[in-house]
Amino acid sequence: DAKTTQPNSMESNEEEPVHLPCNHSTISGTDYIHWYRQLPSQGPEYVIHGLTSNVNNRMASLAIAEDRKSSTLILHRATLRDAAVYYCILRDVYNQGGKLIFGQGTELSVKP
Amino acid sequence: NAGVTQTPKFQVLKTGQSMTLQCAQDMNHEYMSWYRQDPGMGLRLIHYSVGAGITDQGEVPNGYNVSRSTTEDFPLRLLSAAPSQTSVYFCASSYGRSPTEAFFGQGTRLTVV
């Protein structure tokens, strides 16, 4: 399973943008880059995913490097409710049953 | 639309007891999986299924059994509970061979004494 590397923790101020990095140097051509987050005492929730192009949705943006060996999740204006553990995961839905292998993630804290 | 439903939410077992954690989804998803999460850790994959009648092992399968007789249900069985199986268990489902999102249940908090 291709692995990802994320910082253990990051801090942000409320209403400022947050850039959460992820390295995945062994990514394969069929791996999609997924981001999930887990709020305290809850199950993980989907944030965004992409393959090669940058992606935007109502929650966040995903910037993918041209060589696909790294990506960045962007929260445009952090709120206190965005404090969570963010997981960057490579997902191959065609060859590995679509399983999600979680790493340690990045714990994001947001200061008022 | 109920999504992914896990029961029970909390359970206390004695060492050696057996039990089944239930997981059901109403989205007609082919893929289902079970994870455990220990305190301060990320989720670890126990077993997964790509469709009815098909299951496979994940990262930490020992001590757990699964079966998938229907698309909707994916129960996880603990045959002889051990204190090391104290954890929070999450079930997830998603469409097959599609990169779209996976949906997670709210978890079952299991304590083995």
Predicted confidence (pLDDT) at residue A95 exceeds the cutoff of 80? no
Mean pLDDT along residues A45-49: 96
Which chain B residues touch A92 with a CB distance below 8 Å?
none
The pLDDT, as a whole number, for residue B39 is 87
> Does the distance separating the beta carbons of A45 and B104 come in below 8 Å?
yes
Q: Which two tokens stand for residue A10?
A: 């990051």
pLDDT digit string (tens) for B73-84? 999 999 999 999
Instruction: Spell out which chain B residues touch chain A, with contact meaning CB-CB distance below 8 angstroms.
Output: 31, 33, 35, 41-45, 48-50, 56, 58-59, 90, 92, 94, 96-107
Give yes or no for residue A1 having a pLDDT over 70: no
* Res B99: pLDDT: 80
Residue A40 clears pLDDT 70, i.e. is over it = yes
A28-51: average pLDDT: 94
Residue B1 has pLDDT above 90, yes or no: no
Which chain B residues are Cβ-neighbours of A87 within 8 angstroms? Answer: 42
Residues 6 or more apart whose CB falls under 8 angstroms from that of B45 comprise A99, A100, A101, A102, B33, B34, B35, B58, B59, B60
User: What value, to the nearest 5°, has the Cα angle with vertex A92 and ends A86 and A93?
Assistant: 110
**CB proximity list for A54: less than 8 A, separation 6 or greater:** A61, A62, A63, A64
Residues B5-48 pLDDT 10s:
999 999 999 999 999 999 999 999 999 999 999 988 889 999 99
Nearest C-alpha of chain A: how many angstroms from B85?
Answer: 18
Of B41, B43, B99, the CB nearest to A44: B43
Select from B42, B92, B106 the Cβ nearest to the Cβ of A42.
Answer: B106
pLDDT at position A2 is 63
Mean pLDDT, chain A, whole residue set: 93
The average confidence (pLDDT) of chain B is 94
Distance from CA of A97 to the nearest CA of B (A): 6
pLDDT digits (tens, 9 = 90+) for B90-111: 999 998 878 889 999 999 999 9
Listed in order, strand segments (DSSP E) in chain A are: 9-13, 18-23, 32-38, 45-50, 55-56, 61-64, 70-75, 84-91, 106-111
Please report, for chain A, how many H helices and E strands are present, in that order: 0, 9
Q: Answer yes or no: is pLDDT of A47 > 70.
A: yes
Interface residues of A toward B, Cβ cutoff 8 Å, are 32, 34, 36, 42-46, 49, 51, 85, 87, 91, 93-94, 97-105
Q: Are A85 and A108 in contact (CB under 8 A)?
A: yes
Contact A99 B101 (CB under 8 A): no
Q: Which of A44, A93, A104 shows the shortest C-beta gap to B98?
A: A93
The reported pLDDT for the residue numbered A92 is 87
pLDDT grade for B3, boundaries at 50, 70 and 90: very high
